[in-house]
Copies of this chain bind each other. A is one copy, B any other.
Amino acid sequence: MLPQDWKAKCEARKRVQLDSIPKEWMIEVPPKDQLNVVDVPRQCGLLNALELEITETVDVQAILDKLQRGDWSSVQVTTAFYKRAIIAQQLANCLTEIFVDRALGRARELDEHFSRTGTTVGPLHGLPISLKDQFAMKGLETIMGYAKWIGNYATSDCVLVEILYELGAVPFVRTNVPQTLMWGETMNHVFGRTLNPYNLAFTPGGSSGGEGALLAMKGSPLGVGTDIGGSLRIPSSFCGLYTLRPSYERLPYCGAVNSLQGQESISSVLGPMANSLSGVKIFTKAILDAKPWLKDPLVLRKGWDESEYQLVNHGNGKGLCFAIMWDNGVVKPHPPLHRAMNLTKQALEAAGHRVIDWEPHRMLEIYKNAETIFVADGGHDYREQCEGFEPLIETMSPSTDKHDLALDEPLNKSLVGEPCHRTAYELWQLHAEKRELRKSHLDHWNATVSRTGTGRPVDAIISPAVAYTAVPHGLNTDSFYTTLCNALDYSCSVFPVTFVDPEVDDPHPPHRFYNHEDEHIYKLYNSDLFPGCPVALQLIGGTQEEEAVIGMTEIVVEALNKLNEASA
A interface residues (Cβ-Cβ under 8 A, vs B): 254-255, 260-265, 293-298, 300-302, 376-378, 380-381, 421-433, 435, 438-439, 441-442, 446, 488-489, 542-545
Contact = CB atoms under 8 A, between A and B. Distances in A.
Contacts of A489: 297
B428 A377 contact: yes
23 contacts: A261-B428, A262-B432, A262-B433, A262-B435, A263-B428, A264-B431, A293-B543, A294-B446, A296-B439, A297-B439, A297-B442, A297-B488, A300-B302, A301-B543, A301-B544, A302-B302, A302-B544, A376-B424, A377-B428, A378-B425, A380-B423, A421-B424, A421-B425
A439 B302 contact: no
Given A261-B432, A265-B264, A427-B424, A543 B438 contact: no
Nearest to A443: B295
A97 to B, nearest CB: 24
A435 B380 contact: no
A294 B542 CA distance: 9
B427 A262 contact: yes
Nearest to A545: B301
Contacts of A426: 424
Which of A295, A297, A298, A381 is most buried by chain B, counting CB atoms within 10 A of its CB?
Answer: A297
Given A297-B442, A422-B423, 18 more contacts: A261-B431, A261-B432, A262-B429, A264-B264, A264-B265, A264-B428, A297-B438, A297-B488, A300-B544, A302-B302, A376-B424, A376-B425, A377-B424, A381-B425, A421-B425, A423-B423, A423-B424, A424-B424
Contacts of A542: 293, 301
A260 B431 CA distance: 11
Contact of A254 (B262, B427, B435): B435
Given A301-B545, A435-B298, A380 B263 contact: no
Contact of A438 (B298, B302, B431, B446): B298
A297 B443 CA distance: 9
Contacts of A543: 293, 297, 301
7 tightest CB-CB pairs across the interface, nearest first? A262-B428, A262-B431, A262-B432, A377-B425, A301-B544, A376-B424, A297-B438
Contacts of A300: 300, 302, 544
Contacts of A488: 297
Contacts of A294: 446
Given A294-B446, A488-B297, A254 B432 contact: no
A298 B263 CA distance: 18
Contact of A424 (B295, B422, B435, B442): B422
Contacts of A262: 427-433, 435
Given A301-B302, A435-B298, A380 B425 contact: yes
Q: Which residue of A294, A446, A489 has the most chain B CB atoms within 10 A of its CB atom?
A: A294
